[in-house]
Amino acid sequence: MSLLNIKGIFFFPGIILSLGWTVLNFMRISDYVAELKVEFPTCTATNPNKALICISTVLVMVIGRAPLERVFTSIFDKYLPTRKFPINTTMRHQKAEMLAERIFKIIVNIFCLVCLYAIMGKEDCEFLDKRVGGLVERPLYYKNYPC
């Protein structure tokens, strides 16, 4: 039996079954969301500040990315080993750019983590457990279920 026959027997029908299962689950989720919208409209209401949040996030990423990456590229360009990455080569510049991009991503991730932790640590938030620095002994995550 050739490899093509085995693939035709097992692989392609498996893809078709997986696709069908995925479509079925998406339909079930959309039905559940429609039920939630009817029974609990406050749960599915959009944030009135959604546009402001999205636009400000994009602006910060666009405005902050270029200067930060430029600074980190110049720093890495100075300190990369000259034996492995000779000075004034494209390979050295590409490596410095790649490292600068990674540092920018780390900075963004740390900034978001600190902001989220600060929001969760406020007195009016009852979701941050004492074991991780919060104020709540036993957080109740589903207080207003199904919202």
Tell me how far apart the alpha carbons of residues 115 and 53 are, in angstroms, rounded to a whole number.
Answer: 14
Tell me how far apart the alpha carbons of residues 101 and 108 are, in angstroms, rounded to a whole number.
Answer: 11
Tell me how far apart the alpha carbons of residues 93 and 91 are, in angstroms, rounded to a whole number.
Answer: 5
Residue 121 and residue 134 in contact, taking contact as beta carbons nearer than 8 Å: yes
98: left (phi over 0), alpha (psi -120 to 50) or beta: alpha
Model-wide pTM > 0.85: no
- To which residue do tokens 């209401």 refer? 45
Enter the tokens of residue 81.
């080993």
How confident is the model over 129-142, as a mean pLDDT?
78
Reported as a pLDDT band with limits 50, 70 and 90, residue 143 is: low
Give per-residue pLDDT as tens, 69-120: 999 999 999 998 888 888 889 999 999 999 999 999 999 889 888 888 888 8
Give me the pLDDT at residue 142, please: 66
Residue 127 and residue 139 in contact, taking contact as beta carbons nearer than 8 Å: yes
